[in-house]
Amino acid sequence: MMRDTIILRVVAKLLLPAILIFAFYVQFHGDYGPGGGFQAGVAAAGAIILYGMIFGIPAAKHVIPTTVVEIMVPLGVLIFAGTGVVSMMLGENYLNYSPLRAAPGDGQHMGILIVEAGVFITVASTMLAIFYGFGGLADEADAEAAEAAEDGEK
Amino acid sequence: MVITVVGIIRAHNLFAVVMLGGVYSFLMATVMVILDAVDVSMTEAAVGAGMSTVLLLAVLHLTRTREAPLRHKPYIPLFVCLLTGGALVYGTLDLPPFGEANAPQNLHVAPYYIENAERETHSPNIVTAVLASYRGYDTLGEVTVIFTAGIGVLILLASGVRRRRVKPDPLQDPKDDAL
């Protein structure tokens, strides 16, 4: 789309690590401050989407291939639901994380972290999958534009 | 926010409409911060202002950026909107004042969460504790909804790609916007 704009490329490269670190900060700090898997997932997906919009979707797919995204979408739900099954096997109610660790409070805390990771994975990969999906529709047109732009640069 | 909404209604360039939608979401996020709901505010800023704006831009990339002319007068939708809005405003008249300590929602399970959440889950953010632990079922449901929605959109988009390969859509000319 905008590969030929040097300001966008430089600013995006400066912003990308900040966005990603912020996403993971929101993710792992979600039990102490505001935020959690949803917000972090959207932020992380936003970083990749920014990369895809400026450097082209093929570049973004090089970073996170479609197969990985398609595996991650159900993986997050499975992690969430699987945590519930594990806690059931350990003799508690479904999604009661207390038996995961020796002290019930620690178990709850660990359960929250695992579950939030599941939320993160599903949310981020779903956003990416939808973006890739729309990108796939625009790919034919984009490819021609990209070739033209690259020829122009050379 | 009112100015933004009027702008959205008046504007015919869809690019401007998408951008004003993002502005509206950011204003909404600010309102949430003022109401002390930082978690909701972050979600609104990330999903409403960030992600939906980007996805709408991606859609705009595929279609034309001008609004299609109206084929009929929008009186029935206007009537439905006014009716729903009026009913909602009428409903808010019965709500207790904001922040009242004796309001029903502050007397039910909320005191239990505030007193016990940190001790029982070792998570100082009560919102996270409620979302992930006490209301784990709800959050699992939400994740499943996102999962289902994502799969649904992917199937729709994939079938669209297949159809376009067979018969190119004459209404769309993506080269208009690609360059």
B36 CB near a chain A CB, below 8 Å? no
What was the pLDDT predicted at A151? Answer: 62
Q: What's the rounded Cα separation, in Å, for the pair B4 and B152?
A: 32
What was the pLDDT predicted at A139? Answer: 61
Q: CB within 8 A of B54, min separation 6: which ones?
A: A46, A49, A53, A131
Query: Residue for token digits 């939608």?
Result: B21
| Strand partners for B66 | B13
Please report which confidence band the pLDDT of residue A43 belongs to, taking 50, 70 and 90 as the band edges. Answer: confident
Output Rg (C-alpha) for chain B, integer angstroms: 22
Kindly determine whether residue B46 and residue A129, on different chains, have CB atoms separated by under 8 Å.
no
| Strand partners for A114 | none
Rounded mean pLDDT, A55-72: 84
Residues of A in contact with B125 (CB under 8 A): 30-34
Residue A74, classified by CB atoms within 10 Å of its CB into exposed (0-12), middle (13-18) or buried (19+), is middle
Residues of B in contact with A45 (CB under 8 A): 51
Q: Please give, rounded to a whole number of angstroms, the shortest distance from the CA of A116 to a CA of chain B.
A: 7
Return the number of CB contacts < 8 Å for A and B: 159
Compute, in degrees rounded to 10, the torsion defined by CA atoms A51, A57, A61, A66. 120
Question: Is residue A1 in some structural domain?
Answer: no
Rounded mean pLDDT, A47-61: 84
Q: CB within 8 A of B102, min separation 6: which ones?
A: B96
Indicate the number of domains in chain A.
Answer: 1
What was the pLDDT predicted at B114? Answer: 73
Residue type, B179: L
End-to-end C-alpha distance for chain A, whole angstroms:
18
Task: Kindly write down the DSSP assignment for every residue of A68-125, as one continuous string.
Answer: HHHHHHHHHHHHHHHHHHHHHHTTS-TT--GGGSSSHHHHHHHHHHHHHHHHHHHHHH
Rounded mean pLDDT, A67-79: 86
Kindly determine whether residue A138 and residue B122, on different chains, have CB atoms separated by under 8 Å.
no
Rounded mean pLDDT, A53-80: 84
B35 CB near a chain A CB, below 8 Å? no
What was the pLDDT predicted at A146? Answer: 57
What was the pLDDT predicted at B84? Answer: 94
B164 CB near a chain A CB, below 8 Å? yes
Kindly determine whether residue A81 and residue B140, on different chains, have CB atoms separated by under 8 Å.
yes
Residue type, A134: F
Contact B106, B100 (CB under 8 A): yes
Please report which confidence band the pLDDT of residue A26 belongs to, taking 50, 70 and 90 as the band edges. Answer: confident
Of B119, B131, B154, the CB nearest to A133: B154
- A14-18's contacts with Cβ under 8 Å and 24+ in sequence apart are A15/A50, A16/A47, A16/A50, A16/A51
How does pLDDT run across B112-137, given as a tens digit for each residue?
777 777 677 666 777 777 777 777 78
Contact B112, A15 (CB under 8 A): no
Rounded mean pLDDT, A16-34: 83
How does pLDDT run across A75-100, given as a tens digit for each residue?
888 888 888 888 887 777 777 777 66
Contact A19, A26 (CB under 8 A): no
State the complex-level ipTM.
Answer: 0.71
Residues of A in contact with B50 (CB under 8 A): 42-43, 46
What was the pLDDT predicted at B85? Answer: 92
Contact B146, A121 (CB under 8 A): no
Taking the CA of residue B164 as centre, how many other CA atoms within 13 Å lie in the half-sphere pointing to its CB?
Answer: 19
Q: Which of B105, B41, A135, A102 shows the shortest CA–CA distance to A110?
A: A102
Kindly determine whether residue A42 and residue B51, on different chains, have CB atoms separated by under 8 Å.
yes
Which strand (E) or helix (H) includes residue B128? helix B126-129
What residues in chain B have per-residue pLDDT under 70? 65, 67, 70, 99-106, 118, 121-123, 160-179
> Considering only residues 105 to 144 of chain B, which have any Cβ-Cβ distance to chain A shorter than 8 Å?
119-125, 127-129, 131-133, 136-137, 139-140, 142-144
Domain that holds residue A40: 6-153
Percent of chain B with pLDDT over 70: 78
- Pick the more confident residue, B101 or A44: A44
- Pick the more confident residue, A84 or A34: A84
Residue B58, classified by CB atoms within 10 Å of its CB into exposed (0-12), middle (13-18) or buried (19+), is buried
Please report which confidence band the pLDDT of residue A4 belongs to, taking 50, 70 and 90 as the band edges. Answer: low
